[in-house]
């Protein structure tokens, strides 16, 4: 049995959730692995991002999201509306004072709080949407191909709307 790991560098656009089709890149990782039969795990290491499997709906809205992605975001927004103000408002408790202080103490604080702007952490809705949708998917690998049909696509979504970011998607191929 062989195990192969790949990291996909992705760019989110900010402003709205970024839905990114990673199917081609996952297929590229499979080809690079040399593995023909087994499983492929696709995972987000980010707590405000998800990986899911769905159809590409072809019609798109202004930010490039297809109609199914737009509908998914709209429905999840009924459960977890966009957080726009400091807690305790919009129905959210997160982020609290202790969390701000902890993030401000990190060596990478500027990455999370650009210019010290605490509003960059107003993303409770993104954490909740990622928890609902999930951070990973596993697919069968059969004769070097993903085990699903032509209508299936693998999507990575960054629910955090605060700003554009570089994100990572991890692909692990296990098999023979």
The CATH number corresponding to 2-83+123-175 among 3.40.50.300, 2.60.40.1180, 2.60.120.460, 3.40.640.10 equals 2.60.120.460
Q: What is the mean pLDDT of residues 103-112?
A: 95
pLDDT in tens, 114-163: 999 999 999 999 999 999 999 999 999 999 999 999 999 999 999 999 99
Give the pLDDT confidence score for residue 146 in this predicted structure.
Answer: 97
Q: Where are the domains of the chain?
A: 2-83+123-175
Give the pLDDT confidence score for residue 87 in this predicted structure.
Answer: 87
Give the pLDDT confidence score for residue 89 in this predicted structure.
Answer: 85
Give the pLDDT confidence score for residue 127 in this predicted structure.
Answer: 98
pLDDT in tens, 55-97: 999 999 999 999 999 999 999 999 999 999 998 888 999 999 9
Of the chain, the percentage scoring pLDDT greater than 90 comes to 97
For residue 4, give the nearest of 45, 32, 28, 46 by alpha carbon.
32
- Neighbouring CB atoms inside 10 A of 170's CB total 17
């Amino acid at each position: 049995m062989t195990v192969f790991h790949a990291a996909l560098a992705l760019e989110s656009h900010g402003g709205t959730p970024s839905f990114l089709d990673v199917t081609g890149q996952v297929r590229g990782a499979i080809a690079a692995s040399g593995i023909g039969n087994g499983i492929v795990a696709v995972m987000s290491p980010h707590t405000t991002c998800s990986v899911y499997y769905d159809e590409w709906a072809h019609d798109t809205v202004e930010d490039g999201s297809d109609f199914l992605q737009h509908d998914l975001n709209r429905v999840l927004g009924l459960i977890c509306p966009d957080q726009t103000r400091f807690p305790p408002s919009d129905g959210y408790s997160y982020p609290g004072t202790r969390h701000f202080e902890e993030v401000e103490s990190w060596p990478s604080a500027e990455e999370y709080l650009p210019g010290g702007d605490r509003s960059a952490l107003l993303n409770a809705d993104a954490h909740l949407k990622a928890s609902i949708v999930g951070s990973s998917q596993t697919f069968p690998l059969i004769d070097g191909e993903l085990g699903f049909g032509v209508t299936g696509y693998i999507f990575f979504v960054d629910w955090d709307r605060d700003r554009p970011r570089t994100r990572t998607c991890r692909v692990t191929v296990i098999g023979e």
